[in-house]
Amino acid sequence: MNNDSEAVFLRKAHAIFMASVGALDDNVRTRLREARRSAVAVTIKPHPRFWLTGPWVLPAGAMAILVVAALGTFIWSDRMSQSVVPFATRHHVDADIVLSKDNLDMYADMDFYRWLQTQKQQHNGVKDQSGANRNG
Amino acid sequence: MRHAASKSPRFNCREFNLETAGRLNAFLAGVEQRAFRIAQMELRNRDDALDAVQDAMLQLAKHYAERPEQEWPPLFYCILQSRIRDCQRRRAVRNRVISFFGGLRNTEEDPPDPIATAADPAGRDPADQVAQRMAIQALEAALQGLPTRQREAFVMRILEGLDVADTARSMGCSEGSVKTHLSRAVHSLRRSLGEHWQ
């Protein structure tokens, strides 16, 4: 029967093919094994977290960066404006002096007056010591 | 119950990946050697055949690992056939360029394999080995003489053993076309191989 002979032919073709598969050398088998492992490793990579993916991540990140930048700018400008405030107004004792129109010149020389005070104290200290030496 | 309820989605995804990897590994281990022989018969070059199989495995793992397992065979062989055709096209273009500039040297086919010509460590009968080698060479030569679609139908249905539906999916054609291509292929091969296998 034609079908029987065809079936025999096809079985023989399959058997010859499988025999050639069995005759593969070790080098080829090793390379195939390595290729398979590399391919399978792709499926084991960690699954990305939902909140790190998605189309909303980029706009949300950009908005966050803008908010931080605006906050930083506000704080920096606030500090800069504080730094030009006269030294005297940082101390409540000198507030009346600064606010008084007549004494603005005195504010400008505040450091001078402090130095003067220091010199006076040192001078008084030296005078006391020399007086004590004369008497003693 | 509490343990199952407390499992995070991240943990479940990891389990799914490992389970998929295991099944994919088992599938590829079962087909890799046959796929290599099919690619080698088509490309007549061992390194090209290895590249084609490696690429097909990688593409399947990257893009289709999460498909149902029964879809893997036709997908894998569809990718493999695509890679084989790409390689054949590149080779044809390269040969045309080479022949245009300075003649063609037939460097694509494998040189004689020293391992294949070495003595068989299993100690099989040399006459059997020669007969087997001649039979496979005859089959390869006869397959090379077939049109591409007939060759693909024969290789997928008869040598690899896919059913008609999977063969149709891997070839990207209807089941009727597969049967037609296969019938013509068998008729041609029997005519050319008949005297070798009687």
Q: Please provide the DSSP assignment of B35-90 as one string.
A: HHHHHHHHHS-HHHHHHHHHHHHHHHHHHSTTS-GGGHHHHHHHHHHHHHHHHHHH
User: Cα separation of A16 and B131, whole Å?
Assistant: 10
Tell me the one-letter amino acid at B1: M
Asked if A39 lies within 8 A of B53 by C-beta distance, the reply is no
Best A4, A27, A31, A36 member to test B by mutation, with max B CBs in 10 Å, is A36
Name which of B53, B63, B129, B195 to mutate to probe chain A: the one with the most chain A Cβ atoms within 10 A of its Cβ. Answer: B53
Q: State the Cα angle at A88 between A82 and A92, rounded to 5°.
A: 95
What token pair was written down for B196? 């070798």
User: In whole angstroms, what is the distance from residue B42 CA to residue B88 CA?
Assistant: 9
Inform me whether the C-beta atom of residue B161 falls under 8 Å from chain A C-beta atoms. Answer: yes
Interatomic CA distance for residues B34 and B159, integer angstroms? 9
From the list B62, B135, B190, the residue facing A42 with the nearest CB is B62
Chain A, nearest residue to B58 by Cα: A39
**Packing angle of the helix pair A2-22, B9-43 (nearest 10 deg):** 110
- pLDDT tens for each residue of chain A, 136 residues long: 467 888 999 999 999 999 999 989 999 999 999 999 999 988 776 655 556 656 777 788 888 889 888 888 888 887 777 655 555 555 555 566 556 666 556 666 788 778 888 888 888 876 666 666 665 4
- What DSSP element (H or E) covers A53? none
Q: If residue A19 lies in a helix (H) or strand (E), which one and from where to where?
A: helix A2-22
Contact B45/B84 with Cβ under 8 angstroms?
no
Are A36 and B115 in contact (CB < 8 Å)?
no
pTM of this structure = 0.64
Q: Nearest chain A Cα to B50, which residue?
A: A32
Name the residue in chain A with its Cα closest to that of B155.
A14
Amino acid at the residue A44:
I
Shortest distance between the Cα of B120 and any Cα of chain A, in A, equals: 10
B101-114 per-position pLDDT tens digit: 766 555 555 655 55
Q: Do A35 and B25 touch (CB under 8 A)?
A: no
Compute the distance between CA of residue B151 and CA of residue B165 in angstroms, rounded to an integer.
Answer: 17
- Report chain A's C-alpha Rg in angstroms: 46
pLDDT at B9: 46
Length of chain A measured in residues: 136
Identify the closest residue of chain B to A34 by CA–CA distance: B54
- For the stretch B123-131, contacts whose Cβ atoms lie closer than 8 Å and that sit 24 or more positions apart, written own/partner, are none
Interchain contact B1–A (C-beta under 8 A): no
Residue B186 at interface with chain A, using a CB cutoff of 8 Å: yes
Question: What pLDDT tens digit does each residue of chain B (198 aa) get?
Answer: 444 444 444 445 555 578 888 999 999 999 999 999 999 999 989 999 999 999 999 999 999 998 999 999 999 999 999 999 999 899 888 888 887 776 655 555 565 555 555 555 555 677 777 888 888 889 999 999 999 999 999 999 999 999 999 999 999 999 999 999 999 999 999 998 875 565
Instruction: State the nearest Cα–Cα gap between A76 and chain B, in angstroms.
Output: 41
